[in-house]
Structure 1
Amino acid sequence: MIKLLLGTFCSIFLLVGSAVIYYWRDIQFAPSALDLWSYLIVIPLILSLILLSPYLISRAYQANQKRKAQQQRSEQQNTADYPSENAVKSDGVQWLHLNIFSSFTFNALGENKSIIEQLKNFKSPELDYDLTNGYGLPVLSYRIAALDEMLENQQNEQDDEEEQGRLQRIKALIQYQLEQQTEILWQIAEHLKQSAFFYDNELAYQYRMHPAWIDPVDHTGQEEDRPVQVEQVSRLNRLNIHVLLADNLVHVWNESSNNKKLLNFAESLGIISQQIHIEHHFLSHETGYQDWLNLLQHVATQSHEISLIINVDSEIDQEFLDEKTWLSDHYLAAEFSSSWCLTAQNQEINHIDALRTLKVALNVSDLSTCFHQVVPHHSQHIQQEQPFVLILDDPTEIKMIKKTNQVFAPTLIEMHHFLFTQPCFGHTQQLAKIFGFMLGMHLPEDLTAMIYSLDQASTHAFFQARIEENPSA
């Protein structure tokens, strides 16, 4: 957008300036400073604004509409009264319980558990020879090198030209997360089909007609006309796909195109479109963490549904970096993606056991009470040396460190139990805390992992192995 404004202004400046200078030369006019300012700056600026006004009005209208839609979704999540047994209040504390069935994280430090190990060793950003600053010199970045290889393979396989730069990388990261979730999505497709056969005749007919479930011939070469075997399963009505993106993509992201790709992927696994709901969320750095907690609260209330959450961002793009370096010469770009399959506490999925249970405590005034309640053998956690608490805030802010220490002091959890996620995202921070939260699934399984951010100082999250689950919490 900045390039468009500058390009339009420069073009009109050259045209108006040339005409005015030639005219002044013909009439031998000696312009004053005011004349130069008026004719060479003010008039081209006014003409540029007039010429671009339809475009600017259109962009403003679209931004306003999307902002209203996002605000309406947030208000619905905040104010809706959902009848659920997954949100339990005890001593003023509200508990959310969710089952996590799969989790994948991917960034410049590696994948899943390897990211945790790299965070412990603090891996620094690397010199990026494809990105340069205003002086043409390479800059540091957290680029995913493996993603470049994926994009090269995609370009070799595709004849048509795809979008380049940031959008291309984000789409590739979304596709990567879908591929990582393929196995569990196939199991979900099987469960949705069996649920439809048992509970919904209309949807059962749609599944019988779906190409993925039609076996055209049997072993004798004759047409298959046997009835489908129906098994009683726990009811499952819908797969929800939530795509979390940075709010600075709101004007350039093509939702309909991405919806089509997600729908085609899900249908290729055998899920009919009637049981797929896709929603995009454009989150900001200021309110993104609260919106994330609202989304978890919403999922915890959805009975007979399962959700796939995909969190993706990339700022590895020269054009985007050029805009950012106007404000900061040392802008550090990064890219990452993460995904979860999760449900409300009581929802079961055939042939799949939940990896961990997520417990989120809201409105906590005394952390020690929650900690002792969720972690019965808390003394063992405190005595061991490896970190089990992910802190999502900036560790260079002294005030943040002091406040965090005050919060955890009653539990006897110390600094060496903390692991800070913020440094590995550079300045790409809109969705960084959500990625850090999802990364908590890959902390050591023998420990109850914790997540904390001062953005929501009274909220604490706990990841527990299923065998440790304490119903009284």
Structure 2
Amino acid sequence: MLKLFIATLVSSLLLVCGVVVFYWRDTGYDPSAIDLVRHLLLLPLLISVILWLPWAIYRVWKAQQQRKEQRKQDELAQSQQIEAVEKQAKPVDIEWIQLNIYSSAAYSALGENETIIDELQKFKSPELDTQLQNNYGLPMLSYRIQALDNVITNADKEDEFEIEHPRHQRIQALIEHQLEQHAETLWQIAQHLKQSALFYDSELAYEYRMHPAWIDPNSEYASDVQDNQESIKSVTKLNRIHIHILLSESVLHFWNEAQSFEIVEHYLRSLGIITAQIQIEHHYLSQETAYKDWVLLLAQLSKQLEEISLILNVDSEIDQELLDEKTWLTDRYLPSEYASSWCLAASFLQLLETTPQKKLNIGLNVDNILDQLPTEHIVSLEQLKPVQPFVLILDDMTNIPTIKKVNHAFSQSHIEPHHFIYTKQSLGDTQHLAKVFGFMLSMHFPDELMTMIYSVDQSSTHCFIQAYEDMNEKLAQSI
């Protein structure tokens, strides 16, 4: 830059000297010493400074901006360094979610409950569906529940609730099927709710006493009422049963919540539960956030002090109108339908005269699987010796990055790939609630196995399900 400035100064000097000298010669002017210094030295220097002034201002402004940016970067690096040090000094505490599961059910094209797990290990393929067609008018493959067709046909003739949309009809039939699978547990909940109302809540007790059986001595419930009048005893306080219906967000535009409320309430009232103790809530989940929302829901339920929950997870895409939209862009869409359900409560809530089937433990904020509380015992379990799967992987294991993440998560444990079982392939492309279904399917592994559930969607979340008595023993040993 100095050379350029000198070159500019010399050029200005030559130009000004030439112009001034020729002007003085033509005019006959006799310059003094001050004129020579002023015109032949100071004037070229001033012209050079004026020419370079914008560039100098720009350089100064740019240097100031660079200093400001550098200060920001230094402050950011310092704050990140402080955060890293604090994070190392204060690791996030592992949080445990504990729930008791009293009954469960699962239903898909592979069968029900334990049968589904057996068929998963056999890699059962989809069947040709003669009622569904692709965009070429040819029959397509699907995971259709064949038995559901007869149920819907009979329901069209006998059911008082009319459902017009085919997909709505199949989903509602699956909901009713799942309710029936919990009939015994729901009846026990009804007894507990009644005892709790009679002991703790006078208003609800009055509603129960207005039941026809309390008024009509010839009622079929009269003997039960007399027994209740004679033996009202203290029980764990239970205010209500909360029904959570998990649906795909794609059904939001046609789902009739009022009709769904009426059908579920009608079934619960038939078991003797009064409307005041029933709460029904619909959840519409997307495929991207379903697993996260599911874990958050379980965390919420684990903190409920005085309510028991029934979760119904249902989806179906066996609908020609829907598939016409799906197959417009692809020829390989594979629809399916499935349902799963749990009746569960917080670990400190004990249902009247009922022992939970299994216990669910969910570890949050766990970076290493070896940090798990139950994992300290799983290393020595007999289930590691035979080639028997007990770890449910909910992700798509045809995706290479997913495979790497799963292998890395279990690389420091004694759990190997032959212990894995995968659920995604059995549900085709109906994936909005597939991970929730796979999670709930874990209840149907043999009682002697500690079942684990894992998804890369929540890499720091690890879930364990074990028979109720065995889990208590393990936790007692760990403490």
By the TM > 0.5 criterion, same fold? yes
Structure 2 Cα separation of the partners of residues 225 and 104 of structure 1: 34
| Distance across 1 between alignment mates of 2:298 and 2:219 | 45
Q: 2: distance between equivalents of 1:306 and 1:212?
A: 26
Match of 1:332 in 2: 334
Q: Distance in 2 between matches of 1:162 and 1:306?
A: 29
Partner Cα separation in structure 2 for residue 311 and residue 254 of structure 1: 16
User: What do you get for the CA RMSD once the two structures are aligned?
Assistant: 2.2
Q: Does 1:393 align with 2:383?
A: no
Q: List gaps (5 residues or longer) in structure 1.
A: 1-89
Runs of 4+ that moved beyond 6 A = none
CA distance in 1, matches of 2:145, 2:215: 40
Pairs within 5 Å for 1:1-400: 92-158=93-159, 162-211=163-212, 216-217=217-218, 227-370=229-372, 373=375, 375=377, 378-400=380-402
SS in 2 for 1:358: strand
How much does 1:157 deviate? 2.3
Q: Aligned partners of 1:386 and 1:225: how far apart in 2? A: 52
User: Aligned equivalents of 1:213 and 1:461: distance in 2?
Assistant: 46
Q: Name the SS for the 1:410 alignment partner.
A: coil
CA distance in 2 between counterparts of 1:337 and 1:239 reads: 20
User: Separation in 2 of the partners of 1:214 and 1:289?
Assistant: 48
Secondary structure at the residue paired with 1:409? coil
Alpha-carbon offset, residue 91 of structure 1: 6.7
Are 1:445 and 1:465, in contact at CA under 8 Å, matched by a contact in 2?
yes
* 8 A contact 1:375–1:448 mirrored in 2: no
How far off is 1:229 after superposition?
A: 2.6
Cα distance between partner residues in 2 of 1:212 and 1:306: 26
3-state SS of 1:232 partner: coil
Contact 2:379 2:414 in 1 (8 A): no
- Separation (CA, whole Å) in 2 of partners of 1:218 and 1:372: 51
TM-score of the aligned structures, taking structure 1 as reference length: 0.77
SS in structure 1 at match of 2:464: strand
8 Å CA contact retained: 2:360, 2:465: yes
Alpha-carbon shift at residue 279 of structure 1 (Å): 0.4
Query: Contact 1:210 / 1:272 at 8 angstroms: preserved in 2?
Result: no
Q: For residue 313 of structure 2, what is the amino acid of its counterpart? A: N
Q: Deviations over 1:147-171 (max 9, x none)?
A: 1111122223248853141110000
Number of the residue aligned with 1:68 = none
The question of whether the paired residues in 2 share the 8 Å contact of 1:212 and 1:270 is answered with no
2:212·2:219 contact (CA, 8 Å) conserved in 1?
no
| Cα drift, residue 409 of structure 1 | 1.3
My pick for the range that moved more, 377-386 or 389-398, is 377-386
Aligned partner of 2:210: which letter? M
Q: Which amino acid aligns with 1:326?
A: W
By how many angstroms is 1:374 displaced? Answer: 5.9
What do residues 93-121 of structure 1 show as CA deviations (whole Å, max 9, x unaligned)? 11000000000000000000000000000
How far off its partner does 1:381 sit? 2.9
Q: Which residue identity lines up with residue 329 of structure 1 in the other structure?
A: D
- Is this contact kept in 1: 2:369–2:375, CA < 8 A? no
Q: In the aligned structure 2, how far is the partner of 1:266 from the partner of 1:131?
A: 35
Amino acid at match of 1:180: Q
Structure 1 contact 129–138 (Cα < 8 Å) conserved: yes
Secondary structure of the residue that 2:372 maps to in structure 1? helix
Separation in 2, partners of 1:225, 1:349 = 22
Q: Label 1:206 to 1:122 Cα distance change in 2 as closer, same or farther (>3 A).
A: same
Equivalent position SS for 1:131: strand
| Contact 2:307-2:345 at 8 Å conserved across structures | yes
Whether 2:405 is the aligned partner of 1:403: answer yes
The answer to whether the Cα contact below 8 Å between 1:242 and 1:307 also exists between their aligned partners in 2 is: yes
Q: Unaligned 5+ residue runs, structure 2?
A: 1-90
